[in-house]
Structure 1
Amino acid sequence: MGALAVVAALAVAECSGGSTGASPSAPAPSPSTASATCPSSLAPANPPAPAGAAAGAAPQVKLVVPVDTSTSTVLKPDPAQQLQCGKVQVDTKSDVAFAAPKLANGQAKQLLMDIQVPQTPGPKPLVVYVPGGGFVQDDKQGNLPLRTYAADAGFVVASIQYRVQPDGATYADSIADVKSAIRYLRAHASDYQIDPGKVGVWGDSAGGYLVAMVGVTNGDKQYDLGENLDQSSDVQAVVDKFGASDLSKLESDYDAASQQAAAGLMTVVGKYVNGPASTQPASATPATVAAANPITHIKPTDPPFVIFHGSADTLISPSQTLMLQNALKAAGVQSTRYVVEGAGHGDLSFTGDTKSALQWTSANVAAPLLDFLNQSLKG
């Protein structure tokens, strides 16, 4: 299946009303502790295929805008040289409930996280991982190799769920959920050996968009809702991997056939920006889509960013992170952008592309991520 079919599949998942998050009526799973080392297979675990993922072949996606690397560093992945870990024992506490926000239908959705804690002395910096999923999924089990790589290097890593569009959520709800997770972890810092003064966020795709929004809204209390409001949701570092910026222009860099085929996704995005009852695309509401754009919120005091994007990404155009990078730099915010040559949109193994993840787990691509976390959170 072509990459564009994934876009269509995500839209089908939205239309079906399904969500991979915890059921609003399900009881809380009992937290469990397990010892974990680096996974034996460094290719990330396959996410569940979205509804409709077995649909017929889609047209080949074509970027019609050249990839601009003028303000970025180009990385050439070497899939033969994979990241290594296993230096320390990493314990995992799974299915920790951190919030139960209300959905559009009035029911509560219990949000869960998996927390990896390296067994080293003293409090450790925290990295909150926000998974992608086209705003319709929130699989906290994804990207295990890279999460374990960070935990092995001495970071507590918490992978979280958040409300998604099939829940009737908007982008503001998802941001509030990420900030709720940060506050929860600060409130329970001693339970998980966390240094509450050193917190970073890291997200892929939709998660990349959300962590960018979280980083540039440090101190903005409109997104601080729910429990643990005596704790700060501010972060000290942001890792944005192939996330969007302007949600009204997600398809604008692709050819006409690709734009037409992405209509279902843009319907999802319109609802995610404007609300579940909206029938308008995000582009029809300039003021609202501007509020949903991290660039709108940038200020000189924002935390440092590191940004990654594949040059062959056929789901989120590289121009989306380029816009963010240039705006951050213009405002005086510390930001470095890496373009991974030939890489696509992360792990697409559930489409049959079993090699896509290996570019992102290449040692020379993973190393700058770890370097940034070390400099930002351990310095």
Structure 2
Amino acid sequence: MASTGALGLVAATAAADCPASPVTPGPPPGTSIPIAKTVLPASTRSSTVIVPNGPQIQCGSTQVITRQDIVYASPTAGGRQVDLKLDLQIPQTRGPKPLVVYITGGGFVMADKRGNLAQRTYIAEQGYAVASIEYRTTRTGSTYRDGVADVKSAIRYLRAHAGELGIDADKVAVWGQSAGGYLASMTGATNGRAEFEQGDNLDRSSAVQAVVDQFGAGDLARIADDFDAETRAAILAPGTSVNAYVFGPDSSGTVVTDPAANAAADPATYLSRSSAPTVLFHGDSDRIISSSQSLIKLDALRGKHVESARYLVKGADHGDLPILNDPEAARMWSTQKVMGTITRFLDRKLQG
């Protein structure tokens, strides 16, 4: 059964195993995301190690309805107005649902909201409305300020329509992976900061009550600290996606040579007592974003007395399947051990 409503396509499906995402392409032609040849041993300091063995997540316990292609904002990108869309999964359980806004990865170059469907569905079946969003990337000449503004726009939109969508507007988390993890941390760190608020529904709050950051960056100048020299140079060279997302597409600036610009793009710069409780996850064998990034963020969070924890997943690489094109790498991130850790955190912060 399927019907079309004012907010988009509504697709109701019977309970089934966790659905697979559609096959998504890798980076656009002419774009490369460097993968490290060698990686330094990951530090376990102040962290909990998860061995990602045991069963994979299972779905099918709760029926979930999906509303697809809801336009939540129409900002300017690349000199023209673009519609940014989200897909919203709503479990068929009683009462308003706490909201989890999922921010996909893509190396700051792409943002396909169709990704990671199995994990999103699993979270929805635990009693959460899960919104997977598009956001502006380097492909349209956009920067991290645009990306953070887009996440906040989506949150405000969903709060504005909470009643008709069955959402509990007082309980909102952001959950991101890779580039999405970076944006999730930026969103939670900047609770209450007006400079990232753009667009519609400005009478609504974009503040979140929890952050889940999986293998995201933070201090971009140190994003490749754990890697071989060749990979570090490739990641941090002028014009790469990291620098383009900070300085724009035509700049020769780099986060290494411009400490002020790097600090402005670092979630740690904005941390305060208003920042959201945060859990950080990283694979100890990540070849795309150094695992030390999450430890740097943990130290910054604790330095500002923000509730936080770091989980290091043993043997895990970067979990972003379109980049690595490695199903086994992704499977370490969809075990019950890893996903159960996420849902227990969300339950503590949003279900109380």
| TM-score normalized with structure 2 length | 0.93
The aligned counterpart of 1:82 is 56
Q: Does 1:63 align with 2:39?
A: yes
After superposition, give the CA deviation of every residue in 1:322-341 in whole Å (9 maximum; x if it has no partner).
10011111221111110000
Secondary structure, in 3 states, of the residue corresponding to 1:181? Answer: helix
RMSD of aligned Cα (Å): 2.3
Could you list the per-position Cα deviations for residues 118-151 of structure 1 after superposition, in whole angstroms to 9, with x for gaps in the alignment?
1111111000001010000001011111110110
Q: Give the superposition deviation at 1:251.
A: 2.0
Cα distance in structure 2, aligned partners of 1:361 and 1:166:
29
Identity of aligned residues (%): 46
Alpha-carbon displacement from aligned partner over 1:141-178 (angstroms, at most 9, x marks no partner): 11111110110010000000010011111100100000
Unaligned runs of 5+ in 2: 1-5
For 1:301, which of 243, 268, 274 is the aligned residue?
274
Match for 1:275 among 226, 248, 251?
248
Bigger CA drift: 267-276 or 139-148?
A: 267-276
Write out per-residue CA displacement over residues 265-321 of structure 1, whole angstroms, 9 at most, x where no aligned residue.
862222211223311212222111101100111112322111110011000001111
Residues 36, 316 of structure 1: CA spacing in aligned structure 2 closer, same or farther, 3 A cutoff?
farther
| Structure 1 residue identity aligned to 2:63 | Q
Q: Residues 54 and 111 from structure 1, CA distance in 2 versus in 1: closer, same or farther, beyond 3 angstroms? A: closer
| Match in the other structure for 1:329 | 302
Q: Which amino acid aligns with 1:103?
A: A
The aligned residue for residue 118 of structure 2 is 145
Q: Give the C-alpha shift of residue 97 in structure 1.
A: 0.4
How far apart are the structure 1 equivalents of 2:329 and 2:340? 18
Alpha carbons 2:106, 2:320 under 8 Å: kept: no
AA at the equivalent of 1:68:
S
- Kindly provide the amino acid, as one letter, of the partner of residue 67 in structure 1: A
Q: Deviation string for 1:221-264 (max 9, x for gaps)? A: 11111000110000000000000001122223211122244356
Note the C-alpha offset of 1:352. 4.3
Name the counterpart of 1:220. Answer: 193
Render the CA deviation track for 1:337-356: whole Å, top value 9, x for unaligned: 10000001004366442211
Question: Which of 87, 94, 98 is the matching residue for 2:72?
Answer: 98
Note the 1:229-378 alignment, pairs <5 A: 229-262=202-235, 267-348=240-321, 351-378=324-351
Identify unmatched segments of 5+ residues in structure 1: 1-28
**Structure-1-length-normalised TM-score:** 0.86
Q: Name the residue aligned to 1:183.
A: 156
| Partner in structure 1 of residue 13 of structure 2 | 36
Q: Distance in 1 between matches of 2:35 and 2:338?
A: 30
Task: Tell me, in whole angstroms, the C-alpha distance in 2 between the residues paired with 1:112 and 1:217.
Answer: 23
Alignment: residue pair count:
347
Provide the C-alpha distance between the structure 1 equivalents of 2:348 and 2:277, rounded to a whole number of angstroms. Answer: 10
